[in-house]
Amino acid sequence: MKNSLSINQRTNMLYKMAVFIIVVFFLFLTLFPFYWVFRTSVAPQQSVFANPTALWPPHATLLNYTRVLGLIDSETAIKMGGSGQKVNFFLNIYNSFLVSIGVTFFQVLFSSMAAYVFARLHFRFRDNLFSLYVSTLMIPGIVTMLPNFILVKQLGLLNSYWGIMAPTLLMTPFAVFFLRQFFLRINKELEEAAYLDGAGYLKTFIEVILPISTTALTTLAVITFITAWNDYMWPLIVGKKESIRTLTVALAIFRLQTPQGQPDWSGMMAGTTLAMIPTFGIFILFGRKIVDSIGFSGFR
């Protein structure tokens, strides 16, 4: 009896160890590439080629960053293996932030107003209109992107921040849908109390609905910001001009330049690291919220 118990314990331990090893393996697979990008971004150009396997590059330096941020004159940059073409990710980061924050603020604001109407106020054809909103969720991006490009061109907004922001500035069907589902679950008694106190719809919306919904609003804002920050195809077609290029577009163009026959790996990885910083920041601040929202909106 004693013996069989210890066998059980042993298989149990083996099982636990196997599970642990698999988790560690998956974690390594997920996280190692980030380390490798960072490692490369601090490697001097020569050591990228001389020590391709070194876990930490000899003579680590931050010069790649100053170089891609446009803080070093082009002669020095060429000497270091740069393309010599002017790279100024500083400007691109600024552009990306401007566009993403603009889209996030206005989209969440206007979508929450619309969602409130769909959840609480009544007017004719309200539900038909909502079904129409929702039905466009299915449409693949490229279907609207081609006509939207034409529209933005006809409006004279090509190569402008407004042009990049336009399609998602006022709403997305997803945002309205997401918030409406949340508003529907708010206890009506809270609003009725506000009505009895003589508050109008506007006041109720601002003083009752919005404060209760901080979780949903934050989640939506995070999703919207990340989507805007990550977007590539749309800013590529409407924002080619250097002065308003977003970071993703600039990075893709940077990759196409192959100075001295070889890609400028350390510079490219410095740019890549810079593009990841906001994502990691958001992850640290809101990671838990995002994970929770996947259980909520992802399926259920």
Partner 1 sequence: MKGIKNVSSHTTREHIIALFFIFPSLIGFSMFFLVPTLRGFWLSFTNWDLLSKAEFIGFKNYKALITDPDFWHSLFITFQYVLWNIPIQTVLALVLAMIMERSTSSVLVRSLFLIPWLLPNVVVALLWLWMMDPAIGIINEIIKAVGFKSVPFLFSDTLSLPSVAAINIWRHMGYTALIVFAGIQGFPKEVEEAALIDGAGPWKRFFTILIPYLKPVLAFVVITSVIGSFQIYDTIAVTTKGGPVNATYVIYLYIFKNGFESYRMGYATAVSMVLFLILIGISFLQMRLSRANESDF
Query: Which parts of 105-124 interact with partner 1 (CB under 8 A)?
Result: 110-111, 113-114, 116-118, 121-123
138 binds partner 1 (CB under 8 A): yes
Sign of CA dihedral 109, 115, 121, 123: positive
126 belongs to the binding site for partner 1 (CB under 8 A): yes
Residue with tokens 């100075």: 259
206 binds partner 1 (CB under 8 A): no
Site string for partner 1, 61-90 (x = CB under 8 A): ------------------------------
CA distance linking residue 229 with residue 164, whole number of Å: 11
* Residue 218 in contact with partner 1, rule: CB under 8 A: no
3-state secondary structure 238-288: HCCCHHHCCHHHHHHHHHHCCHHHCCCHHHHHHHHHHHHHHHHHHHHHHHH
* Least distance to partner 1, CB of residue 149, Å: 7
CB of 58 or CB of 287, closer to partner 1: 287
Closest approach of partner 1 to the CB of residue 250, in Å: 10
162 lies in the site for partner 1, by CB under 8 A: no
CA 247 to chain centre: 12
Q: Which of residues 221-280 bind partner 1 (CB under 8 A)?
A: 226, 229-233, 237, 248, 251-252, 255, 262, 265, 268-269, 272, 275-276, 279-280
Q: How many CB atoms lie within 10 A of CB 189?
A: 8
How far apart, in whole angstroms, are the C-alpha atoms of residue 162 and residue 25?
A: 45
